[in-house]
Amino acid sequence: MTQIHSDDLFRRAQAHIPGGVNSPVRAFKGVGGEPVFFTRGEGAYLYDVDDNRYIDYVNSWGPLIVGHTHPEVVTAVQEAAAQGLGFGAPTATEIEMAETLCRLVPSMDLVRMVSSGTEATMSAIRLARGFTGRDKILKFEGCYHGHADSLLVKAGSGALTLGVPTSPGIPLSVAEHTLTVSYNNLAEVQEVFNHFGEQIAAIIVEPVAGNMNCVPPVPGFLEGLRTICDNHGSVLIFDEVMTGFRVALGGAQALYDVTPDLTTLGKVVGGGLPVGAFGGRQKIMEMIAPLGPVYQAGTLSGNPVAMAAGLATLKLIQAPGFYEHLSRQTQKLVNGILGRARDADIPMTANQVGGMFGLFFTGEEEVTCYEQATHCHLDRFKSFYHGMLEHGIYFAPSAFEAGFVSSAHNDEHIAATLQAAEQVLAKLSL
């Protein structure tokens, strides 16, 4: 496959866009080489500037759960756009969105729309702090919640040390309020609460982690977080920006039957346009302006075109059997790749929940936390990645990102992917 035009565009992009990209992972630093520039998508396929076709397992990092340019979503967007691109005033469409979300997501009594996942988590944290009158929050190593200051923090040298910024530009005085412990490790959470319980406003967690590749919660983990928050008067926030409408219709909270106090959403809820949301228990959400004193606002919040794309997508995913099908296709993909890795003597493991999955070149042991995920055989992953790309299969360009299947991925797409994997994995074992 030629990428002459992608090369040209990447050079042009770098002249005026930092690193040539508008979000770092797109730069292919995780896999080497240069990013592919796309022109269009259709169903399970992406087309690059040279008209090479790829089967897409990124799906815009999750939002495109019904595939690219689904006719019903495109029509809804066109119709909404023709009526006006935005008013910065209330519309009926945003009521329909709020009603839909509160009906589908078990924990939601009230919901506020925003324009990104980052805004959703940042606002949820402020709200939890305002509601409890406490400053500290607890998060988990390897979980990503967007790039707000208090969430770009990693653990100090032990669970009981205060957080340190993972980026210059974040004051220590902000980061020190963020405590970080290992994912799936309830004992560490309990230990931190034994020391700081009275000061912790919230636990924020990806109920299925999707930003250290895909790592599901071990049995009892989410339930344990619920109990600990209840015992200490802290707010439990499920960051379902990725898992919302991805692992099940009601998100991970429906799948695992654990109800958080607040939930953040993004990705699927915007059907591919820039949308986020946060919502939850009436009593907490009533603290938000203009009802209450916790300030939060947005010029583009509830934008009618974005609401139309989201609502059209949310309508399609409520079709009977949608998630059973999505999950089955994802399982076929994952089991198929694992089988071919075994045949090629490449030690691999995988995780899969609903329409999200993670392939790990870490060995054959199950991966349940960040530390294990980092044991990836990176060179092998990179060779696999580029081999698959050569065969027209587009995975996320990093070993630490989850993959996504859409309802447009049929048996033929999966079979073609497995055929490519068989050839690529066989070469890796040489």
Candidates 93, 100, 107, 118; binder of ligand PMP (CB under 6 A) is: 118
- Cβ atoms of residues 287 and 130 within 8 Å: yes
Query: CB of residue 240 vs ligand PMP: minimum separation in angstroms?
Result: 7
Candidates 48, 94, 141, 206; binder of ligand PMP (CB under 6 A) is: 206
If binding is defined by CB under 6 A, does position 185 make contact with ligand PMP?
Answer: no
Give the whole-angstrom CA distance, residue 169 versus residue 165: 8
If binding is defined by CB under 6 A, does position 266 make contact with ligand PMP?
Answer: yes
Question: 57 an active-site residue?
Answer: no
Question: 267 an active-site residue?
Answer: yes
Catalytic residue (one of 136, 139, 183, 239) = 239
If binding is defined by CB under 6 A, does position 204 make contact with ligand PMP?
Answer: no
Stretch that binds ligand PMP, among 7-15, 27-35, 205-213, 422-430 (CB under 6 A): 205-213
Give the whole-angstrom CA distance, residue 321 versus residue 236: 30
If binding is defined by CB under 6 A, does position 178 make contact with ligand PMP?
Answer: no
Query: CB of residue 298 vs ligand PMP: minimum separation in angstroms?
Result: 13
- Cβ atoms of residues 251 and 240 within 8 Å: yes
Query: CB of residue 297 vs ligand PMP: minimum separation in angstroms?
Result: 17
Taking Cα atoms as reference points, which of 418, 402, 401, 421 lies closest to residue 346?
A: 421
- Cβ atoms of residues 361 and 380 within 8 Å: yes
Query: CB of residue 387 vs ligand PMP: minimum separation in angstroms?
Result: 26
Q: Report DSSP state, residue 25.
A: G
Q: What number of residues does the chain have?
A: 430
Nearer to ligand PMP, 117 or 251 (CB): 117
| Residue 6 phi, psi dihedral angles, 5° rounding | -60, -45
If binding is defined by CB under 6 A, does position 211 make contact with ligand PMP?
Answer: yes
Q: Coil, strand or helix: which one is 58?
A: coil
Query: CB of residue 144 vs ligand PMP: minimum separation in angstroms?
Result: 5
Supply the angle between the helices 411-428 and 322-343 in degrees, to the nearest 10.
20
Candidates 146, 310, 355, 397; binder of ligand PMP (CB under 6 A) is: 146
- Cβ atoms of residues 330 and 354 within 8 Å: yes
Furthest-apart CA atoms within the chain: distance in Å: 64
Question: 382 an active-site residue?
Answer: no
- 300, exposed or middle or buried, with CB in 10 Å at 0-12, 13-18, 19+? middle
If binding is defined by CB under 6 A, does position 401 make contact with ligand PMP?
Answer: no
| Alpha helices (H) in 186-303, listed in sequence order | 186-196, 221-232, 252-255, 282-285
If binding is defined by CB under 6 A, does position 121 make contact with ligand PMP?
Answer: yes
Nearer to ligand PMP, 214 or 425 (CB): 214
Nearer to ligand PMP, 310 or 387 (CB): 310
Query: CB of residue 228 vs ligand PMP: minimum separation in angstroms?
Result: 21
| N-to-C CA span, the chain | 23
If binding is defined by CB under 6 A, does position 116 make contact with ligand PMP?
Answer: yes
The binding site for ligand PMP (CB under 6 A) comprises 61, 116-118, 121, 144-146, 206, 210-211, 239, 241-242, 266, 276
The residues carrying an active-site annotation are 144, 239, 267
